[in-house]
Structure 1
Amino acid sequence: MTEIENQVRAALGELLDIAAVRPGGLVVIGCSSSEILGEKIGKGSSPETGKAVAKAALAELEARGLFLAAQCCEHLNRALIVERAAAEKFGYEIVSVRPRPKAGGSFATAVYEAMRDPVAVEHVRADAGMDIGGTLIGMHLRDVAVPVRLRVKHIGDAILLAARTRPKLIGGARAEYPDETNGGQA
């Protein structure tokens, strides 16, 4: 699993460098352990693979002072596992569910088991995100999502997609816009 952990850390590190998410920000990750192992999504859930991805993602995010939102699978309506502190900080309503490998997915289960005070929420508005294996994280990103092309294209056999977000540009032709590379801050 070391190779998977290395791929996750490299990809997430590159995304965070590009996205410039500020400390205290939120990053969503959706992950199919089945796809990582070359199986069809939802058909070969692997707790060991989920743990490897969770370990690497949590280490990278915690080192930067960021919160993780781990997206569950469709059986839990793509709910997310977050630290209670994140749910309270962002005002997210907590719902009652505990993910399992076959209902929520191996990654979300591993994150739930690794977090200090995990809770489930139905929706987040993340600053950036990674989709490992076609898990469809877009519904949990802030407006406006911007694709990020990373050097790492796959985690195991799973296709990797990433995005950052930026503030909406409003005001039309007479408006001035700050440099978006710093998150839209003037």
Structure 2
Amino acid sequence: MDLELVEQQARTIVAEVAEQAQLRPGTILVVGCSTSEVLGKHIGKAGSQEVAAVLYRAMEAIREQHGFALAFQCCEHLNRALVVERAVMEAFGLEEVSVVPVPSAGGSMAAHAFERMASPVVVESIKAHAGIDIGDTLIGMHLRHVAVPIRPSLKQIGHAHVTAARTRPKLIGGARAVYERSPANNRCT
């Protein structure tokens, strides 16, 4: 596996998602990742700390440029809990759970993030502003309503299928509803 290529693919996809989702300070990008799938193996069967390290480095570089927060989804053995920085947990009013992700229970990506973050915690759920799913790990439960697909220029990282989404506020109202502010529509009749 060409890990330099994997890192470049991840940087490209995360940068495109950050731009299209308008990620900035105060927003969260949730990442679900099967390092096994990146290697071309079945999810959960060949996790790689080496692949996780390369992906984390790529994601962290883009996060630093834009200022958004990262949340890494654990595997099904930890009920898809998420690794975040303590500051993110506190800022968003999330509830901490007691577990330390390891490659065999949490997954290689979440375990690596837990080791690399300054003050990591695990939370049970989150409502992120955007998400990237590397290897069909199913991150939808961690996105805010309403999810809108993003189609990055690359469809894979290594051998893993990649999907991405941003979220937007719900459009409420009916035929008379207005969704963009202008002086003409600030009056009620």
Q: Under TM normalisation by the shorter chain, which class is it?
A: over 0.9
| Runs of 4+ that moved beyond 2 A | none
Pairwise mapping of residues 4-153 of structure 1 onto structure 2 (< 5 A)?
Answer: 4-153=6-155
Q: Give the drift of 1:76.
A: 0.4
2:135 and 2:162 in contact (8 A); partners too: yes
CA RMSD of aligned residues (A): 1.0
TM-score, normalization by structure 1:
0.94
Structure 2 residue runs of 5 or longer lacking an equivalent are 182-189
Q: How many residues align?
A: 179
| 1:175 partner SS | coil
CA contact under 8 A between 1:51 and 1:106: conserved in structure 2? no
Aligned counterpart, 1:164: 166
* Distance in 2 separating the partners of 1:95 and 1:138: 20
Q: Is the 8 A contact 1:126 1:142 kept in 2?
A: yes
Max Rg structure: 2
CA distance in 2, matches of 1:38, 1:86: 33
**CA–CA distance in structure 2, aligned partners of residues 62 and 167 of structure 1:** 25
Letter in 1 for 2:42: K
Which amino acid in 2 is paired with 1:128? A
For the residue of structure 2 that corresponds to 1:172, the secondary structure is: coil
Shift of 1:50: 1.0
DSSP-derived class of the 2:175 partner: helix
- Corresponding letter in the other structure for 2:137: T
Name structure 1 gaps, 5 residues minimum: 180-186
Q: TM-score, normalised by structure 2?
A: 0.93
CA distance, structure 2, for counterparts of residue 62 and residue 89 of structure 1: 18
Give distance in 2, aligned partners of 1:55 and 1:112.
13
Letter in 1 for 2:53: K
**Cα distance, 1:63 vs structure 2:** 2.0
State the shift of 1:152 in Å. Answer: 0.9
